[in-house]
């Protein structure tokens, strides 16, 4: 009996990593080409069209739109004021209402604050007044936490998002001038897999690699960069072209490629933990063998 148990334990120790390796390999093959496509994306040179007025309303595409804005201490109060001006101008481009586009704002630094939800304001004056009252949170840049909070709390039906049957596009616009102090790749992949289209706006010293990790594909349509907050409001016209003139249905990632990539990373971490535990079990088996040999 002892001999049979010993061989069974050794089989478990030796075989489990290979079985998990096969599972991980499957996800790597499914997600590899997708990851290569994302990493090869390059930041675009945006060309604005001054002939189009940002005041004209967006009527061709309804949105559940959540702004995720960085208010860390690297942003001066005057610059944060320009971010709020940008949000207000974006609101002006939309047809806002309970049966039109809905808007929410998530403010973040080292902590995250939902300034207002999709269900809170259905007219532009109230929405712009709420934007004007937003204050910076000062320290830290927890962008990953902010994205997760938006997914878990701002894009829910309880918070005012329309159900999938309504086929309303879910869009997040992230504005940041720094490098995230937490991980953004996995949480962004999860958000995109759930059908949230992500635009990443980088200002000044923003980390371009992080912007690419957050944004939806194709990157040339979803990654924006401006050198200073002084010109960020000029992106309003480009966003109007991107969000309003082309009808794009919000769909959940059909092949779940984003989810596979996130799961792959989680599996790798789990395998590392399991390998350490199996090594400990192997050591205990060896000590048990030595003890039995002395009996």
State the CATH number of the domain containing residue 79.
3.40.50.410
d(CA 17, CA 278): 9
The token pair at 89 is: 């101008």
Question: What would the two tokens of residue 41 be?
Answer: 């994306």
Which segments of the chain does DSSP mark as H helices, in order? 2-39, 77-93, 124-132, 143-149, 185-193, 208-214, 219-222, 235-244, 257-294
Residue 56 belongs to some domain of the structure: no
Compute φ and ψ for 250, nearest 5 degrees.
Answer: -80, 120
Alpha carbons 104 and 187: distance in angstroms, whole number: 19
In this structure, the answer to whether residues 189 and 272 fall within a common structural domain is: no
Measured in residues, the chain has a length of: 295
Instruction: Please classify residue 278 by burial: count the beta carbons closer than 10 Å to its beta carbon, then call 0-12 exposed, 13-18 middle and 19+ buried.
Output: middle
CA nearest 143: which of 209, 79, 228?
209
- Cα(190)–Cα(121) distance, integer angstroms: 27
pLDDT of 189 reads 97
Do residue 218 and residue 93 come from a single domain?
yes
Please report whether residue 151 resides in a domain: yes
263 and 155 inside one domain = no
Q: Is residue 207 part of a domain?
A: yes
Q: Phi and psi at residue 49, in whole multiples of 5°? A: -110, 100
Question: For the residues of 231-243, what is the DSSP string, one character each?
Answer: GGGGHHHHHHHHH
51 assigned to some structural domain? no
Query: Does residue 105 sit in the same domain as residue 221?
Result: yes
Instruction: Tell whether 153 and 26 lie within a shared domain.
Output: no
Query: 34 with 71, same domain?
Result: no
Determine the pLDDT at residue 284: 80
Looking at the fold, whether 277 and 169 belong to one and the same domain comes out as no
Whether 35 and 148 share a structural domain: no
Residue-range definition of the domain harbouring residue 108:
63-244
Reduced to 3 states (helix: H, G, I; strand: E, B; else coil), residue 28 is helix
45, part of any domain: no
* Tally of structural domains, the chain: 2
pLDDT given at position 39: 52
- CA 208-209-214 angle, to 5 degrees, is 95
Residue 210 in contact with residue 174, Cβ under 8 Å? no
pLDDT tens, the chain, 295 aa long? 555 555 555 555 455 554 555 544 544 545 544 554 555 544 443 433 333 444 445 555 899 999 999 999 989 999 999 999 999 999 999 999 999 999 999 999 999 999 999 999 999 999 999 999 999 998 899 999 999 999 999 999 999 999 999 999 999 999 999 899 999 999 999 999 999 999 999 999 999 999 999 999 999 999 999 999 999 988 998 898 888 744 444 445 555 566 566 666 666 666 767 777 777 777 788 787 777 776 6
- Peptide linkage before 242 cis (omega within 30 of 0): no
Q: Are residues 103 and 225 in the same domain?
A: yes
What pLDDT does residue 47 have?
A: 34
Q: Which two tokens stand for residue 23?
A: 């599972």
Tokens of 270: 């789990």
- Nearest residue to 147 (alpha-carbon basis) of 117, 184, 194, 109: 184
93 in Cβ contact with 55 (< 8 Å): yes
Q: Is residue 138, in this structure, part of any structural domain at all?
A: yes
* Residue matched to tokens 């209402």: 97
240 and 286 inside one domain: no
Is there a domain that residue 170 lies in?
yes
Distances in Å between the Cα of 187 and the Cα atoms of 24, 117, 122, 144, 279 are 19, 20, 29, 6, 31
Which pLDDT value is given to residue 276? 74
Answering whether pTM is above 0.85, one says no
**87 and 232 in one domain?**
yes
Query: Which pLDDT belongs to residue 264?
Result: 65
Both 261 and 221 in one domain: the answer is no
- Domain-located, residue 44: no
């Amino acid at each position: 009996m002892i001999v049979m148990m010993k061989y069974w334990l050794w089989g478990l120790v030796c075989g489990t990593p290979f079985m998990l390796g096969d599972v991980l390999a499957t996800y790597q093959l499914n997600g590899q080409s997708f990851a290569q496509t994302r990493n090869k994306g390059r930041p675009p040179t945006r060309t604005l069209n001054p002939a189009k007025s940002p005041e004209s309303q967006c009527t061709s595409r309804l949105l559940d739109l959540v702004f995720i804005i960085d208010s860390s201490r690297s942003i001066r109060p005057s610059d944060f004021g320009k971010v709020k001006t940008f949000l207000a101008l974006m609101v002006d481009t939309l047809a806002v209402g309970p049966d039109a586009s809905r808007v929410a704002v998530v403010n973040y630094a080292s902590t995250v604050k939902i300034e207002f939800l999709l269900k809170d304001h259905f007219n532009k004056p109230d929405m712009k007044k709420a934007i004007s009252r937003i204050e910076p949170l000062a320290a830290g840049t927890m962008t990953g936490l902010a994205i997760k909070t938006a997914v878990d709390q701002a894009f829910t039906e309880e918070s005012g998002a329309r159900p999938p049957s309504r086929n309303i596009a879910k869009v997040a616009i992230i504005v940041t001038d720094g490098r995230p102090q937490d991980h953004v790749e996995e949480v962004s992949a999860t958000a995109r897999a759930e059908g949230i289209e992500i635009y990443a706006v980088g200002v000044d010293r923003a980390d371009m690699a992080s912007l690419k990790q957050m944004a939806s594909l194709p990157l040339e349509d979803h990654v924006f960069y401006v050198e200073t907050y002084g010109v960020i409001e000029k992106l309003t016209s480009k966003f109007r072209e991107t969000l309003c003139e082309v009808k794009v249905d919000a769909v959940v990632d059909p092949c779940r490629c984003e989810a596979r990539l996130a799961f792959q990373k989680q599996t790798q971490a789990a395998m590392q933990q399991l390998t350490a535990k199996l090594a400990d079990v192997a050591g205990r088996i060896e000590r048990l063998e030595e003890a039995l040999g002395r009996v």
